[in-house]
């Protein structure tokens, strides 16, 4: 079965209405995409690392299915929810890794298509998460846009759809939020 946007949207809506079969079919459609996102997040992991893409996808899946009557409007909204879940899982994993360590100086972060996670970069992810929390206190939309872009892997058009805004606004929000986070991570705020 190919990942057809309209078919997936219909299955998600039916699943939101309580049709478990439709929800299961939707999950089958998006599973490979979720694995791709997880691999992107974990691609910089060294051999023998403790978090595998499959673990990340399964943990996200368990959180997705444990929600009571989720209201997914479409494919982009589903991936937005999945992005939030993956971010939470990665942050929880990073906190566990850093529990006995002090966070060192904040490192320079490169914004590519996804923020790569590795056990060695756990403190960096926690700093990014702290930055996103602080940014959300100032501007929720910009923080959510960054989350959708880098944790959800959504394109600007998809983010605009989820956020009910224009693609141009998404582009501006990404540029401003990235600059804000860089300043935050450099400690010059």
Query: What are the boundaries of each domain within the chain?
Result: 5-186
Integer CA distances (angstroms), 9 to 23, 73, 171, in order? 11, 7, 25
In this predicted model, what pLDDT tens digit does every residue of 14-45 receive, in sequence order? 887 888 888 788 878 888 778 887 777 776 55
Q: Which residues contact 145 (CB under 8 A, 6 or more apart)?
A: 159, 163, 170, 173, 174, 177
Going residue by residue through the chain, which has 189 residues, state the pLDDT in tens, using 9 for 90 and above: 445 566 888 888 888 788 888 878 887 888 877 888 777 777 655 555 667 778 888 888 777 767 665 677 777 778 788 888 888 888 887 777 776 454 444 444 555 444 555 666 677 778 888 899 999 999 999 999 998 888 877 889 989 988 899 999 999 999 999 999 989 988 844
pLDDT in the model for residue 31? 80
Q: Where are the alpha helices (DSSP H) in the chain?
A: 5-16, 20-42, 53-66, 75-98, 122-138, 140-146, 156-163, 167-186
pTM higher than 0.75 for the full model?
Answer: no
- Give the tokens for residue 108: 């320079």
The answer to whether 14 touches 22, Cβ cutoff 8 Å, is yes
The answer to whether 104 touches 123, Cβ cutoff 8 Å, is yes
């Amino acid at each position: 079965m190919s990942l057809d946007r309209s078919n997936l949207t219909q299955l998600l809506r039916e699943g939101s209405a309580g049709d478990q079969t439709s929800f299961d079919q939707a999950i089958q459609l998006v599973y490979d995409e979720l694995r791709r996102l997880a691999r992107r997040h974990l691609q910089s992991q060294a051999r023998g690392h403790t978090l595998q893409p499959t673990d990340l996808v399964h943990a996200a899946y368990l959180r997705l299915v444990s929600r009571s009557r989720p209201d997914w409007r479409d494919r982009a909204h589903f991936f937005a929810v999945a992005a939030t879940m993956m971010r939470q899982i990665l942050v929880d994993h990073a906190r566990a890794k850093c529990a006995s360590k002090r966070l060192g100086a904040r490192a320079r972060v490169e914004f590519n298509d996804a923020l790569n996670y590795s056990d060695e970069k756990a403190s960096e992810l926690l700093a990014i998460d702290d930055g996103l929390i602080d940014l959300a206190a100032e501007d929720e939309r910009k923080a959510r846009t960054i989350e959708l872009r880098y944790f959800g892997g959504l394109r600007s058009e998809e983010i605009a759809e989820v956020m009910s805004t224009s693609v141009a606004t998404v582009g501006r929000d990404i540029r401003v939020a990235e600059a804000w986070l860089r300043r935050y991570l450099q400690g010059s705020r």
